[in-house]
Chains A and B, each alone.
Chain A
Amino acid sequence: MLAYIVRRLFLMLVTLFGISVIIFVLLRVVPGNIVDILFDAAGYVDPADKANLEKELGLSDPIVVQYLKWIGGLLHGDLGYSYVSEKPALQEILPRIPITAKLAGLALLFSASIGIPLGVLSAVHQGTRLDYALRVVSLSGLSLPSFWLGLLILMASVSMLGWMPIYNPNPQTWAEAFAIYCIPAMAVGFRSAALTMRITRSSMLEILRQDFIRTARAKGASEASVNYHHALKNAVLPVITVIGIEAAFLIGGLIVTETVFNIPGIARFLVEALRWRDYPIVQNLVMFIAVVVVVVNFAVDMLYAAIDPRIRFGD
């Protein structure tokens, strides 16, 4: 087990190193840099001013030097300065992480708390009207883009309630605080819940046909005990995998939701930073997201063993 963990940690480091190289090179392959954008905003191009600014920002250094400066700084906790705001990158990124984390966490919670029970319900009542209705809901969840759903929610809120749940850093009431996070979380988590529900349903259907389920029923176990204790426990592994993948995917899904609900989280910030070619912000944010994804994957793998005692992490 220890050897497995050490190996995984080593692989994580290699993965992160690979990602750092890829993102660094890709950013510089994409045409245009911050200086082009700044001059675009100023409405003119002056080659001499442009060269001066590139030098000032260190963009005229060889790419290897730029990479080493970044990684060296990163190892010392210095993430550099945002080219746009001219503030330390850490100062720009840190306040946005809890916002996105809350949103992603709530979306995942919504996804799991809706998707798993409904998936079980749908499987247990296979072929009934309830099953068909739930399958329609799950299909619609998979087909509705979250930005469209978000806009629909905003429009409905404005026309029906005369109020809209867009972000406010200082919510006045408990209800407002709830709404500004939960409604966007539901909009983005709906697709994820639909996926979880379908995976839970198919996994449950497979398990419910197993011999040990028939045995449990023959021994007189209640339906609830059969469904939730025996079947769900065995069906949940693929669901955990999907939730793990979704956790990583959510960052992408949050970009549009953060834009529609005007939430100043890291996903929207990343897009803006990309638009401005704000390399220090993009590089560090991508690395942060990569760390989250790698750690979540690692945690999911560890969770397998906790849930299913048959799984052992051997050498």
Chain B
Amino acid sequence: MRSVRALAVAVLCWLSAYDVSLAEQPKSGGILKMYHRDSPGSASIHEGASYSFNVPFMPVFNNLVIFNQHVAQNSVDTIVPELAESWAWSDDKKKLTFKLRNDVKWHDGKPFTSADVKCTFDLLMGKSQQKFRQNPRKSWYDQVNDVTINGDYEASFNLKRPQPALLSLLASGYSPIYPCHVSPAEMRTKPVGTGPFKFVEFKANESIKLTKNPDYFRKGLPYLDGIEFTIVTNRSTAILGFVSGKFDMTFPTEVSIPLLKDVKSQAPNAVCVVEPSNVSTNIIINSSAPPFDNLDIRRALALAIDRKAFISILFEGQADIGGTMQPAPAGLWAMPKEILETIPGYGPDVNANREHARKLMQKAGYGPDKHLQIKVSTRNIPIYRDPAIILIDQLKTIYIDAELDVVDTAQWFPKVARKDYSLGLNLTGNAVDEPDQSFYENYSCDSERNYTNYCNREIEKLFDQQSAETDADKRKKLVWEIDKKLQEDVARPIILHSRTGTCWQPYVKNVTVMSNSSYNGYRYEDVWMDK
């Protein structure tokens, strides 16, 4: 009897193992259907600054190198070759050379060569005759002198000084290689890439269609026959579409925590993942005009923020507190808790912080009988508006009466650029969990994306110092020091770092949601459907 049972158990085990191995065997075919949250302005990733561009168009392209698409935490250790076969730093760390694949073709049949690499980065650095309409990541390549080629299959980046971060920047979803023979204007409407999927059509406000690239250099990939994005701007309709099975996947990192509950209750089989998105909700301050030209008032503002209240109200507790760099464990460069809590406003006793803030306000001439009247400007979008309302409520505790000033998207950047605001509620997304990207882009004196024009030359020297530091541990300590100083300077007070959800139907396999960037994980070459 015992032996019969043992045999039965063995057979069952074998069957289940067989079943699992069958289930995990990738299958080719099928069109992955996904909704897109809005209509991207164009199909050109290099000209956009939102992952609305990356999600649908990253599958069309390849980079020289890319973050491993199945490791959630992007880091320099997870970078793998793509159009490059290998890479090597020179001894002085001022030259990064890539050996390129020789079996890659553009979707129009032309061969990919090192000239395309040079063209792409010349365009990005503003060195070519052709120009992008917008070039939001030009500053990423400030330390690159030029890109030189050696034959058809070798390209080198020659740097002004060592910059270990360059490799991470090149591995971002924002760094695809464009073909020389297609103009930037054509790339906005009919992009040609080397990637696993070919562009079919982009109907503004309607749909984006991609089809399998049968000549993809990675043989056997992609598994999917195509990807179709239906543009659904109404979030309720989009979620209902996913729940009803019309879509195989939600738009990545777009399901808010409260909505996630609805999805799970209505589609219990759906696979949902919540990950940090490396997007911070922060306050931009016009420190060039009264009242926030007064450091005491800026410090009072920083002390008044009850971050836990924001997180509890907006994210049901599922968000993180940190400085400029994304908090640990998902963030690689976060200040340790013991350093963070020494920064004014980050201490656990909110009442004590606010008491201190009130004293600072009184020192500046305000008090219970004389409140400071200001406006809190923000975009007319819920993810901006909602935290702005909580901020206004919290400011009341330190004698500041603020009024919400909602600004149309068309007016947001012009308004910020002409300094027509006192306080602004802003969201900052970081494409790469990398201090060079975050510090230079948002806090460098000459950066186009430094909306507040915060400028501290001393800190900027530290930016350069950390950027050139090749010892990872030393660099990390420098980054903590800079981040602490930025918070103490009230440069752009960080309220929270959000977490968001992504859901897919159980038959969609091999999807990995990145945990420290919302911009890098959409190549989808080995995603498949068990249908």
Contact = CB atoms under 8 A, between A and B. Distances in A.
A43 B448 CA distance: 9
A45 B39 CA distance: 21
Interface string B402-442: 00000011111110010000000000000000000000000
B198 to A, nearest CB: 19
A38 B185 CA distance: 14
A259 B234 contact: yes
A40 B413 contact: yes
A139 B41 CA distance: 42
B205 A269 contact: yes
A54 to B, nearest CB: 11
Interface stretch (B237-245, B292-300, B314-322): B237-245
B33 to A, nearest CB: 11
A164 interface: yes
Interface residues of B, number: 46
Contacts of A39: 134, 413
B266 interface: yes
B182 interface: no
Interface string A255-293: 000011110100011001001110000000000000000
Nearest to B230: A262
A275 B409 contact: yes
B443 to A, nearest CB: 14
A53 B133 CA distance: 7
Contact of B449 (A43, A52, A169, A260): A43
Contacts of B205: 264, 268-269, 272
B507 to A, nearest CB: 16
Contacts of A31: 408, 410-411, 414
Chain A CB within 10 Å — which of B42, B134, B240, B266 has the most? Answer: B134
Interface in B227-252: 230-234, 236-237, 240-241, 243-246
B244 A163 contact: yes
Contacts of A86: 42, 185, 188-189
B240 A162 contact: no
B230 A84 contact: no
B135 interface: yes
A82 B233 contact: no
Interface residues of A, number: 45
Interface in A68-117: 82, 84-87, 92
B244 A40 contact: no
Indicate the member of A44, A154, A158, A162 with the most B CB atoms within 10 Å: A44
Given A31-B411, A45-B414, A85-B204, A158 B134 contact: no
The CB with the most chain B CB atoms within 10 A, among A43, A268, A276, is that of A43
A32 B448 contact: no
A205 interface: no
A42 B204 contact: no
Most B Cβ at <10 Å: residue of A157, A158, A260: A158
A166 B246 contact: yes
A164 B241 CA distance: 7
Contacts of A1: none
A38 B41 contact: yes
Given A44-B449, A275-B410, 20 more contacts: A31-B410, A36-B413, A41-B49, A42-B47, A42-B48, A43-B49, A43-B413, A44-B448, A49-B134, A53-B133, A86-B189, A158-B240, A164-B240, A164-B241, A166-B246, A260-B236, A262-B230, A262-B231, A262-B237, A264-B205
8 contacts: A40-B413, A42-B47, A42-B136, A44-B136, A84-B204, A92-B204, A259-B233, A264-B205
Q: Nearest 10 CB-CB pairs, A to B? A: A32-B410, A43-B49, A42-B134, A44-B448, A264-B206, A42-B136, A164-B244, A158-B244, A45-B417, A41-B41
